[in-house]
Chains A and B, each alone.
Chain A
């Protein structure tokens, strides 16, 4: 049965690769190779450190913290990037007489796709320990293999349970956003507590790898380091069993879950005619002529009702703050003056980058097969792209306003001129990123399931690598800052920024021309790609 499911998935991918999506498949492959090459290099570096006998005391000291980081990455990164990796499409599989245990096994193995890079890191570290005589060398292989496999299994099982739990909860419209905020606060809390003066030693005692700690990473590090291996192995086995029970329980609940009923629970919450939301939706039509006004209005309505977009939008300004805030309110000496000085711009650009995956990088993604409207209506495709870009730009401005409001609420010291700067720099950055986004939207279109608040395996890779692309796209903005600090002149900054804006407008115009020509030439491919349905495993 498992083989049949995996074969069906392989055939689905093969058909897709052979037909319309070849270019996209090659792009995904290149992304995957670059992503895993990076993590492979990290794994090799870790191997180099853990295999060195002279570094053994340092390795023993940091091993637990390293495993804690792996654990956190595996369990929290999928939540924070709204990217849970591949998962079984139970709606397609439940009609067949497949034993539920088999489905659960596949589901657990698919958790590897949520954080496969951690598998590389773990393998690098453990292989290094094999080579290191201080930790027992090859003679200690059973202990090392046992501990790593149990640690891996507990992570996979816990991730499977968490994914099922979170996905079910996210189906309820009213709690989705609250949950995202809750998760962000949960992650932010330790760092914020430290920032506010709580002594980190206390938290380290609770979570850290000190001897006797009962956490799975602490037990695993103790076994790997050869400290009280028997007892700690038993603790680790206990955690694995608990994770198995939790995973099975959550999976069983997901099998019984009625997503349609959960979604319908909040039906009838559409804005009333004449209400504030309705007036906001109508605003672009007051300012812009049709069809542009109609397209922007449609995008505002659609995106604001799309769970995945809303989740990422909220994460943009909440998680953005969480990531950067400790750098400016950190303990004495921990303050980063560059980030502190440009906090609002940094968080705004970060939020803008987050928004890319659900708006401008794949502008036709949420439309899926309905994207044929843009080719069937008597409106040039350039208007459709421009309308979508304008809607994205409006959301970006709202995002910057939300970041500003949050900063002011948290009493982050931001001079008024810096607020103005954020509202100037972000739209200039938008010109460049929307240009690249329009090209990627027609060259690599992918259907996105709007109801799923999370994404699949490739999304976090894409997101990670896009963060590497951003510095290139934002080079003209960087030049403006270089002018400010090189020439010690505000005027120089605004002059170069104005030049960057003019250049950005030209880049946008050229990119739009190119994207429209590509859309016309590849319309058939684009529509085929956007109408594609997945196999039994959801990977988008």
Chain B
């Protein structure tokens, strides 16, 4: 039996004594579209950054696709497609140059990388080849990051707010591609604040709050009854109408 796509145990990370991720334990099965939700500052991005090896955890263990981090870091990175929250694009390259560069960094021969870059640019309607990435709109940048995550055909996608700033047509295209990737056996680990999108795409969901998982399970189980994912989210995160106290507003 294949090892899970992600197996995290008792993961901890603190900043200045304040825990950002506090004993996180999580298993994401292979071939799963996994939604990782939480309010702002809950620890989602920190978790993704630890999973990609960008920051080391204070304690706990991480296994990705059956490989241990940090011991097998380079092997893990070869099999991951990353769409981070912050820009990971080089502004002084064109979209085509950047995609080819990323392909070659993942070990693709130059010709193959260039060909795939051209096809991905076409797919994501980024054909303005002569424009530098620094001149792209926010949506174009996200689409470029998505294309870069696809170029080496990874087994696992780690995506932090991939649809942020993307227009409806672009978002639809990205969703279709991601669903296709899941059908071919890839795993997607996604964070998003757009709960409707998560509700429609994901098989399983975890909600993190103050660095800890407060809810985890199959989407169908979580939505039992009349509750929407938003209702579940607001209930478990404990949001209140704080603005009611601002009588001047």
Contact = CB atoms under 8 A, between A and B. Distances in A.
A370 B105 CA distance: 15
A285 interface: yes
Contact of A376 (B53, B92, B134): B53
A123 interface: no
Contacts of B105: 290-291, 294-295, 373, 377-379
A524 interface: yes
B228 to A, nearest CB: 34
Contact of B90 (A263, A367, A380, A531): A367
B88 A524 contact: no
B94 interface: yes
B110 A285 contact: yes
A21 to B, nearest CB: 14
Given A270-B132, A285-B110, A298 B77 contact: no
A523 B93 contact: no
B110 A290 contact: yes
Interface string A346-377: 00000000000000000000110110110111
B87 A369 contact: yes
Interface in B52-98: 52-56, 74-75, 77-78, 82, 84, 86-94, 97
Interface in B145-177: none
B193 interface: no
Contacts of B86: 369, 372, 531
Interface string A242-275: 0000000000000000000001100110100000
B87 A378 contact: no
Interface in B174-233: none
Contact of A302 (B52, B92, B110): B92
Contacts of B84: 372, 376
A375 B53 contact: yes
A295 B134 CA distance: 19
Contacts of A267: 130-132, 135
A375 B87 contact: no
B124 interface: no
A64 interface: no
Given A370-B90, A376-B77, A524 B55 contact: yes
B88 A373 contact: yes
Given A270-B132, A285-B110, A291-B104, A372 B90 contact: no
Contacts of B75: 378
Contacts of A294: 100-101, 104-105, 110
Interface in A436-495: 450-451
B74 A270 contact: no
A366 B89 CA distance: 12
Nearest to A304: B92
Contacts of B94: 270
Nearest to A268: B130
Interface string B123-134: 000000111101
B88 A378 contact: no
Interface residues of A, number: 36
A306 B92 contact: yes
Interface string B107-132: 10110000000000000000001111
A23 interface: no
A377 B106 contact: yes
A303 B53 CA distance: 28
A377 B77 contact: yes
B55 A302 contact: no
A373 B104 CA distance: 13
A527 B54 contact: yes
A264 B135 contact: yes
Interface residues of B, number: 36
Contact of B93 (A290, A301, A375): A301
Contacts of A302: 90, 92-93
A290 B104 contact: yes
B92 A270 contact: no
Nearest to B84: A372
A529 interface: no
Interface in A266-294: 267-268, 270, 285, 290-291, 293-294
Which residue, of A305, A373, A375, A523, has the highest number of chain B Cβ atoms within 10 A?
A: A373
B88 A372 contact: yes
B91 A375 contact: no
A435 to B, nearest CB: 25
A117 interface: no
A378 B77 contact: yes
A341 B98 CA distance: 46
Contacts of A305: 92, 132
Nearest to A527: B54
A268 to B, nearest CB: 5
Contact of A297 (B91, B101, B135): B101
Contacts of A376: 52-54, 77, 82, 84, 88
B6 to A, nearest CB: 16
A527 B105 CA distance: 20
Given A306-B92, A367-B90, A378 B106 contact: yes
A297 B114 CA distance: 14
Contacts of B130: 267-268, 270
Max chain B Cβ within 10 angstroms of own Cβ: one of A293, A378, A451: A378
A489 B88 CA distance: 54
B121 to A, nearest CB: 14
Q: Closest 9 A-B residue pairs measured CB to CB? A: A378-B77, A294-B104, A302-B92, A378-B78, A270-B130, A524-B55, A305-B92, A377-B105, A290-B104
Given A302-B92, A376-B84, 10 more contacts: A270-B130, A297-B101, A303-B92, A370-B87, A373-B105, A375-B53, A378-B106, A379-B74, A450-B134, A523-B55
18 contacts: A267-B130, A267-B131, A270-B94, A270-B130, A290-B104, A291-B105, A298-B97, A302-B93, A306-B92, A366-B92, A367-B90, A369-B87, A370-B90, A375-B54, A376-B52, A378-B77, A378-B106, A523-B55
